[in-house]
Structure 1
Amino acid sequence: MKVAAFRRAEDPPDARRVGLVVGDGASWWIHPFPDGTEMVELLATDPEVRDQAADAAAQADGLRPPEVVLLPPVYPVAMRDFLTFEAHVDGMERGHGNHGPPAEWYQAPVFLFMAPHAVAGPYDDVPMPPDTERLDFELEIAAVICRDVRDVTPEEAGAAIGGYCVMNDWSARDVQGREMSLKLGPSKGKDFATTIGPWVVTPDELDDCRDQDGFLDLVMSVTVNGATVGRDRSGHMGWSFEQLVSHASRASWVKAGEVLASGTCASGSLAEAWGRTGSLEPPPLQVGDVVEMSIDRLGTIRNQVSPSNGAVGAVPAARRLRREKDR
């Protein structure tokens, strides 16, 4: 089942509805569920009951793409972004003068917490963030959590995954680099936009897309202004999503409404290419560039980089309390 959050074109900007998606590519339409239907609650419903609700929704007239505005499938209560693609880690490390992933990468799936309030819809414009000359994209696959879990095994964790979607973890690489030189962050290098969508595909729809180890194996690709710049498979992840949920839940809660992401796939960002070649080729994103990401069976998101929303305040420098003689 594919489920989308949307508003009708004539709805007020704060309207939010949930509907069943039928079709694919450019020939899809949405059949609304009853008003008040919540995405995460629907994903957590018993599959038989959910299918009955979908059958009922499908009986009503559907809405075509020009009639709706697709919204982020969820407004996450939290977001965790992992680092699971070995080849991507290799390329990024080479950009820092290292020869491949550090030994620590293989020991456990590390993640960072993201800004849940920065999510953007699958076709929204994304304003150019301030203070950057190295705007980048990151192609990822994300899981939507539909049940609270704590200290679960990978076998138990699967029941908490309500579905999957495409994610673009936008990054201001120069800002990110300055922050992480202090062994903290990233913060302002990441918190301005994260695209998720175009809808959520429930796990049962992807049972035939598992490899022999049980990993989802879906083709992932990204284009800039129509030219392909990255392509990989989700089957190249070092850990499965069930293992990621399990690890995140160790001595901690993973809550319904969270989004857990795979991290960037191989060739899924410009910075990886910069690390391998030692040059800014392909060039950083500019205003007007269109970034399109597709994952087999999950759909396509497409965002154009738009001008900045407006002036922002200057970054305050720290006051210096130590005198020269104390240094």
Structure 2
Amino acid sequence: MKLATIKNNSRDGQLVVVSRDLTKAVKVPEIAHTMQEALDNWDDISPKLEKVYDQLQNNTLSNTFDFDSKEAMAAIPRAYHWADGSAYVTHVELVRKARNAELPETFWTDPLMYMGASDAFIGANEDIKIEKEEWGIDFESEVAVITDDVPAGVNAENAQKHIKLVAIINDVSLRNLIPNELAKQFGFYQSKPWTTFSPVVVTPDELDDAWSNAKVHLPLISTLNSKVIGSPNAGIDMTFDFGQLIAHAAKSRSLMAGSVIGSGTVANQGSPNGSSCLAEVRCLEIIKDGKPSTPFMSFDDRIEIEMKNKKGETIFGKIDQVVKQYDPIN
């Protein structure tokens, strides 16, 4: 099943069911008005949404409309919880190698995770608005899952049962603001602007055999200004699967329905398939040449992020964003 949230006159948008090929959609206010409402009552509501999805696939509905990804908001425009992991430890290892820093052994057994801003996610075609280029603008292509209610202390195996939806995201980073924040030893804040969602989210079964062991075994393609930066396989070198990430997040407290858990930047060991962020590209350059040659993003740069199935068909639709400067209001 594929779902999306489209624009209306509210902050939370209108839940719609979307056809597999992303061409048609149907509103379902009689079932749920918003994505959060559906997640709050998933066991009762999801079978009803699945029925509509089947009808949509069979062309038996008369109230459909053409789906336009530009009208899509983030699938869940504001969430109760957003936590991003760093499941691809090979990525962290590379970054540390570039600055001659040791990787603690615990990084391979205990996930890194930070809590991000969930008061507003943005849609796949919305601009990335940043005040200054010198902040070091970077994209980060990731996979994310959305959960129902997760009990505190859940183990990794049972945590997988709480994964209801899967998405791809762009977790934008402001690289030149990160060092000062981390030096305070209190995590990211200013260096993490709003995160972007793919046009649609899907239930894990929609991924067929590409969804295995709580991982998505497909390439995640990142294209900057028409140049493919990378297409690493999200199922390879993922040290911690989504069950483990959810269990980590729920170690000491329960998670509310609608919690979003990110994978961190998708990376493959040795980067044979390219990279999912410019920071990794620059690290490889530092290791090879002693200095980076690739700049971070500039205003008017365009980043596209997409994942396709084995038939070459888009699964989540495409994240397609342009970096724009905003003027602060004083």
| TM-score between both structures, scaled by the size of structure 1 | 0.85
The residue that corresponds to 2:48 in the other structure is: 49
Unaligned stretches of 5+ residues in structure 2: 268-274, 309-314
The residue that corresponds to 2:74 in the other structure is: 72
Q: Does 1:98 align with 2:98?
A: no
**Which secondary structure state, in structure 2, belongs to the residue aligned with residue 51 of structure 1?**
helix
CA distance in 2, matches of 1:117, 1:214: 27
Unaligned stretches of 5+ residues in structure 1: 314-327
The residue that corresponds to 1:298 in the other structure is: 316
The residue that corresponds to 2:270 in the other structure is: none
CA distance in 1, matches of 2:231, 2:285: 18
CA distance in 1, matches of 2:79, 2:134: 26
Deviating beyond 6 angstroms after TM superposition, the runs of 4 or more aligned structure 1 residues are: none
Instruction: Pick the aligned partner of 1:19 from 16, 19, 40.
Output: 16
The alignment of Structure 1 onto Structure 2 pairs a total of residues equal to: 304
Q: Describe the shift of the 1:34–1:311 C-alpha distance in structure 2 as closer, same or farther (beyond 3 A).
A: closer
Q: Describe the shift of the 1:141–1:134 C-alpha distance in structure 2 as closer, same or farther (beyond 3 A).
A: same
CA distance in 1, matches of 2:184, 2:214: 38
Q: Describe the shift of the 1:49–1:23 C-alpha distance in structure 2 as closer, same or farther (beyond 3 A).
A: closer
Contact 2:224 2:302 in 1 (8 A): yes
Alpha-carbon offset, residue 166 of structure 1:
0.9
**Which secondary structure state, in structure 1, belongs to the residue aligned with residue 216 of structure 2?**
coil
The residue that corresponds to 1:247 in the other structure is: 248
Contact 1:216 1:240 in 2 (8 A): no
Contact 2:19 2:53 in 1 (8 A): no
Matches within 5 A, 1:101-120: 101-120=103-122
Matches within 5 A, 1:181-196: 181-190=183-192, 192-196=193-197
- Which of the two has higher C-alpha Rg? 1
Contact 1:130 1:312 in 2 (8 A): no
Deviations 1:165-216 (Å, cap 9, x if unpaired)?
A: 11111111011122112222221011x22101211100121241145x5532
Deviations 1:107-134 (Å, cap 9, x if unpaired)?
A: 2112000011241111101112347341
Q: Does 1:275 align with 2:268?
A: no
CA distance in 2, matches of 1:131, 1:66: 31
CA distance in 1, matches of 2:254, 2:12: 30
